[in-house]
Structure 1
């Protein structure tokens, strides 16, 4: 093995190992009050440090190149991804959501590492402090209470069918074949797909069960009902009902970080004779980075809702 190859492997290997060790450290249950994977420290600071170390440990002639600073840290991040997936430390859904942040943050770190390297700032004390920074900041961040944020996901679809026929497909959704499932994002993330929805009667106080694969069930209680026009329902999802293999622990619906609160169907008659079926839901995110998690939550909920609306449209127009 040549000296250059050895130095490159060191530059990639040490930051990757550092990231894996820190992930294991932050994942220790007994320390959850001080260190959390679902934190700005882990999701934003860690990849910056990984990028900084990757370029700083590289040869100076390579660290001078901007492209090297920006893209080489991605190798460390992707290796970290592969290792955590292979060891079942993280789930695929979580990685897909945080990967854009990790790549961008690692590039920022790479630029910092390139500056330190080319300016010959080689004080080991500075690098040691940088490596220990997440352990120092993590407990401080844990003292900051996360403020739950409530978000709304709104979707609609136009349907060419009689009112009663559309409404009957809204209140009760019969078995959904796999080929009718158009939830592309949720399928890519490995989320459960919808199977059916059952309502015991039409009216306030009715119980509706929206059943998904992998053991996910939305328990829905109707709080407002106007026949053929509007139905609002509270939603409960109980994490203990969902098998641990069904969803990544950080994206479990009804868990510590993500919860669906309620949903509403509204059926509107349009001047052109069509009907517009509105479906919107309110959900809550509880993280210290709701500015990012809320965006993903809204995208996921819209994908689920659009999928259901397309099924209801197809069935209403086919009858």
Structure 2
């Protein structure tokens, strides 16, 4: 083995060791956060700081002589680490696919940023052999974990509205909107959230009685259940409710993804309902609105996902009511 081959082999071993150590460190931080606060993954430390620091450490150690191109720092290492994190999350940590999909843009982007900053800030004319200098980077997320609880998070409210025009009168639509039994898998419409991402579909909603104070028992696929307590009952005009999630309901949600509960310290679905508006041509506009609040380090991002996920669920429910009210099959 000549000197060039020996150097290449040493470099590969060094990079592999750095990756393994960096991933082990990230796993340790993950387990520590989970032990202290199960919802703590929705934090600056986990979303922004940890991926940047781990990539900075790996690239720093993996290129001791500072000879590798920028693509090593911003492309090769971030991609490899990102793939390893996704596999570990799915297989070892059994995270839900929706949660991983939501975190992926932050992890990959901040990982690439950490590599880029390392590439820019190194003194490229001076070889660096001191691993301790790189290891000190790993103190950053540990310190951030202590400081972050002291920083208050803003709480933003929002609403998601979808509507559909139905060729039926309000009285007919009201019968199907107030309760919907036995929704079949083929009913409704195609959506990104439910047909690609895998969000469960509604399967039914039963009303225990009529009028103010009644309770709608809502069922989704995979055993998900929750209640909607009626706060406004105007037949043929308006039906409004407050969402209620008990511990048993949340256990079923947690089987899907324990970090995306609809009633958590970081976000909550509060209330919603239908409004029926008669149109001059005899048809009716049915509008479904859902109110919520979010309190995360990235509220704007959480609201984007809420618009997609809750919006798709709403569009699917409206399609079911439309098709049943018109009493003929229709493709969305």
TM-score scaled by structure 1? 0.88
Q: 1:238 to 1:163 in 2, by over 3 A?
A: same
The farther-off stretch of 142-151 and 5-14 is 5-14
Q: Secondary structure at the match of 1:246?
A: helix
Pair 1:267 & 2:272 matched = no
Q: 1:17 to 1:167 in 2, by over 3 A?
A: farther
Alpha-carbon distance between aligned partners in 2 of 1:20 and 1:32, rounded to the nearest angstrom: 18
Pair 1:64 & 2:69 matched = yes
1:204 aligns with 212
* 1:150-165 alignment runs, 5 A limit: 150-165=157-172
The farther-off stretch of 92-101 and 143-152 is 143-152
Q: Secondary structure at the match of 2:296?
A: coil
Work out whether residues 35 and 142 of structure 1, in 8 Å CA contact, stay in contact via their aligned partners in 2. Answer: no
Pair 1:303 & 2:312 matched = yes
Alpha-carbon distance between aligned partners in 2 of 1:237 and 1:127, rounded to the nearest angstrom: 46
Deviation at 1:63, TM superposition (A): 3.0
Alpha-carbon distance between aligned partners in 2 of 1:90 and 1:272, rounded to the nearest angstrom: 50
Structure with max Cα Rg: 2
Pair 1:128 & 2:135 matched = yes
1:143 aligns with 150
Work out whether residues 169 and 316 of structure 1, in 8 Å CA contact, stay in contact via their aligned partners in 2. Answer: yes
Deviating beyond 6 angstroms after TM superposition, the runs of 4 or more aligned structure 1 residues are: none
Alpha-carbon distance between aligned partners in 1 of 2:278 and 2:92, rounded to the nearest angstrom: 53
* 1:214-229 alignment runs, 5 A limit: 214-229=222-237
Which of 245, 253, 259 is 1:250 aligned to? Answer: 259
Deviation at 1:54, TM superposition (A): 3.7
TM-score scaled by structure 2? 0.85
Alpha-carbon distance between aligned partners in 2 of 1:108 and 1:70, rounded to the nearest angstrom: 7
2:83 aligns with 78
Work out whether residues 73 and 112 of structure 2, in 8 Å CA contact, stay in contact via their aligned partners in 1. Answer: yes
Work out whether residues 148 and 285 of structure 1, in 8 Å CA contact, stay in contact via their aligned partners in 2. Answer: yes
Deviation at 1:58, TM superposition (A): 3.8
1:104 aligns with 109
Report how many aligned residue pairs link the two structures.
318
Work out whether residues 70 and 111 of structure 1, in 8 Å CA contact, stay in contact via their aligned partners in 2. Answer: yes
For structure 1, the 5+ residue unaligned runs are none
1:114 aligns with 119
Q: Secondary structure at the match of 1:222?
A: strand
The farther-off stretch of 254-263 and 220-229 is 254-263
**Please, what is the CA RMSD of the aligned residues?**
2.7
For structure 2, the 5+ residue unaligned runs are none
1:284 aligns with 293
